[in-house]
Structure 1
Amino acid sequence: MPLVDMPLEKLKAYTGRNPRPADFDAYWDRALAELRAVDPQIEMVPSSFQTPNAECFDLYFTGVRGARIHAQYVRPKGVQEPHPAVVLFHGYTGHAGDWSGKLSYASLGFSVLAMDCRGQGGSSEDVGGVKGNTHRGHIIRGLDDHPDNLLFRHIYLDTAQLADIALGLPEVDPERVYAAGGSQGGALTIACAALEPRVKKLAPLYPFLCDFKRVWEMDLAKDAYEELRTYFRHFDPTHAREDEVFEKLGYIDLQYLADRIRGEVLMFVGMMDTVCPPSTQFAAYNKITAPKDLVIYPDFGHEGLPGASDRTIAFFLK
């Protein structure tokens, strides 16, 4: 097998390159305290899209800093007893997708909550207000401001808040709330289960937003990570602040949230991935202390992985 990264035996022992801020735990404890003080003001509006077997709603809630966040909510029609729910997260710059994509879960008796990330392709609000550069990307939004203003901090908190909403729905069994997504969605799946540890199972697919310095050192700050290169070229062309930049990015580096996960993990990785390199994903996976399993696709990159969707559904049904 050709290699784009380390051999598998080294990946299994890899512990990451990006620095972990000394106050990382205090940072996220402070963030969660801010989240708990928010009145979510939940609103559900029936969607214009409806089907005979499922009810579809536009769900809105208030996140940190006052942003109104949108999610699609699909629940099986006529199911009275508490049933499982899955929260779904989309890829970078995208949105929650078509309603029809959630019907396979609804047909199996699951409710589905699919979030639009603030400021990306869906209907969630980006309230802005950050100092410094906002050019080309959300990873670098807030790098020139206080770390509490990093945009992905807020997005991670939105995922936890959505899971909390799911856990509180009267029709949902709180012992069967799960999370899934690919790329950015895989990253947000990890963030969700780390910040809301009552999530019982999670299935991240080649997660983004792990081990930023490793991406940089592999010269793969392109595609999804291109904004790292753009940031340095425009705002720190001599790299005088390189150490500071990567340490600040450490606050939103998911490898350092991974050990907070308490739910069972089924993760998928393509060994030919040059968008989210395998080593960055292993940096997070290797720090998970909860029950976990990794499905490796030796010949696949950042693309559709055959059978991954079926294995995810089977995992949630088990």
Structure 2
Amino acid sequence: MPRFDLPLAELETYSPTIAAPDDFDDFWAATLAESRAAGGAPVVVPVETPLTTIEAYDVTFPGFGGDPVKAWLLVPAGARHPLPAVVEFNGYGGGRGLPFERLGWASAGYAHLFMDTRGQGSMWGAGGETPDPHGTGPSSSGFMTRGIEDPADYYYRRVFTDAVRAVDAVRTLPQVDPARVAVAGGSQGGGIALAAAGLCDDLVAVLPDVPFLCHFERAVGLTDRDPYQEVVRYLSVHRGADERVFRTLSYFDGANLATRATAPALFSVALMDFTCPPSTVFAAFNRYGATDKAIEVYTHNDHEGGQAYQWQAQARFLRDRV
């Protein structure tokens, strides 16, 4: 598979101007205030699993507009609380699955909250359980163009708010030290983690792995893979809607949200990634607001990136900051 994007030396300095709307910060402040005002507290129920070294809990917390969002909480059995926590977000189309599918963070001594992505969970994996009760106007298949006519209606407004409220929720749990919370995720989950980084205060670390949802306008014109192709298909039908569509997307661009982040961050990028092109990842990394940041580069990988090697790097990075 050939490399198709900029050479690494150019990627390392690639920091494009990506316009953020004048009301960007006000938009997000109002969105989060509205959802927090809806109130509610997480409901945490122990679940029985075959695991003997990890305790599992079914969590339901209030997300966007107070909508119930599901998650799994895993903690080391018998651990002394409170623990540092990792809030993790999932890849595109997947759900929270089963509670024993992701054991790494809890096995490493963390409280691990894995958030269900609303409306997703039926493309791969073991399923999701969080509906998205909000309708949208015309859209193409998938989630990328749902509500794309207006940022107030856009699908990822709800998802990003869910992510912030997941951090809010985990900080209230007795198993968790609220001053030691990190966010993580791969692909879509990496893009959601970047959103949380830009919208949450006082995170100890951010771990976006081959992040999606960055530098939309370049991605849409550079790769022929889904999910970015969902936007192409929409625009091929809704001719002349480019300006309106990319204005909506600018409120949700990981490269814009990254500029507002202050927590230490470890990114990853794969130079043969046709799903999340390298320049889109570097656009977010180079614009990331904290000086304590690093990026792992996988020179001969597609969207799978570093996989277990990246998790190991994340574990080391986080250990040094908690």
Which TM class, normalised by the smaller chain length? over 0.9
Is the contact between residue 258 and residue 288 of structure 1 (CA under 8 Å) also seen in structure 2?
yes
For residues 281 and 120 of structure 2, the distance between their equivalents in structure 1, rounded to whole angstroms, comes to: 23
Is the contact between residue 61 and residue 169 of structure 2 (CA under 8 Å) also seen in structure 1?
no
Does residue 92 of structure 1 match 2:92? Answer: yes
Does residue 138 of structure 1 match 2:143? Answer: yes
Is the contact between residue 84 and residue 177 of structure 2 (CA under 8 Å) also seen in structure 1?
yes
Of 163, 172, 176, which aligns to 1:168?
172
For residues 294 and 227 of structure 2, the distance between their equivalents in structure 1, rounded to whole angstroms, comes to: 26
> Structure 2 vs 1, CA of residues 174 and 247 (structure 1 numbering), >3 Å: closer, same or farther?
same
Q: Larger deviation: 184-193 or 303-312?
A: 303-312
User: Percent identity over the alignment?
Assistant: 37
For residues 217 and 52 of structure 1, the distance between their equivalents in structure 2, rounded to whole angstroms, comes to: 49
Amino acid paired to 1:15: S
Does residue 231 of structure 1 match 2:234? Answer: yes
Shift of 1:191: 1.1
Extract unaligned runs of 5+ from structure 1.
none
For residues 224 and 151 of structure 2, the distance between their equivalents in structure 1, rounded to whole angstroms, comes to: 22
Does residue 127 of structure 1 match 2:133? Answer: yes
For residues 50 and 263 of structure 1, the distance between their equivalents in structure 2, rounded to whole angstroms, comes to: 36
Of 145, 160, 164, which aligns to 1:156?
160
Describe the SS at the equivalent of 2:142.
coil
Matched length: 312
Amino acid paired to 2:210: Y
Partner of 2:184: 180
Is the contact between residue 264 and residue 292 of structure 1 (CA under 8 Å) also seen in structure 2?
yes
Equivalent runs, 1:74-85 vs 2, <5 Å: 74-85=74-85
User: Where has structure 1 moved over 6 Å in runs of 4 or more?
Assistant: none
Cα-to-partner distance string for 1:190-246 (whole Å, 9 max, x where unaligned): 11222112221111111000111101222x143221211221233x1xx31212211
State the Cα RMSD in Å: 1.8
Shift of 1:50: 4.8
> Structure 2 vs 1, CA of residues 67 and 50 (structure 1 numbering), >3 Å: closer, same or farther?
farther
Is the contact between residue 298 and residue 306 of structure 2 (CA under 8 Å) also seen in structure 1?
yes
For residues 171 and 178 of structure 1, the distance between their equivalents in structure 2, rounded to whole angstroms, comes to: 15
> Structure 2 vs 1, CA of residues 268 and 18 (structure 1 numbering), >3 Å: closer, same or farther?
same
Describe the SS at the equivalent of 1:180.
strand
Partner of 1:64: 64
For residues 247 and 104 of structure 1, the distance between their equivalents in structure 2, rounded to whole angstroms, comes to: 38
Cα-to-partner distance string for 1:287-315 (whole Å, 9 max, x where unaligned): 11211001111111101415111111122
For residues 275 and 17 of structure 1, the distance between their equivalents in structure 2, rounded to whole angstroms, comes to: 22
Partner of 2:199: 195
Describe the SS at the equivalent of 1:217.
helix
Is the contact between residue 24 and residue 251 of structure 1 (CA under 8 Å) also seen in structure 2?
yes
Partner of 2:250: 250
Amino acid paired to 1:73: L
For residues 81 and 30 of structure 2, the distance between their equivalents in structure 1, rounded to whole angstroms, comes to: 37
For residues 99 and 129 of structure 1, the distance between their equivalents in structure 2, rounded to whole angstroms, comes to: 29
Partner of 1:315: 317
Partner of 2:12: 12
Extract unaligned runs of 5+ from structure 2.
122-127
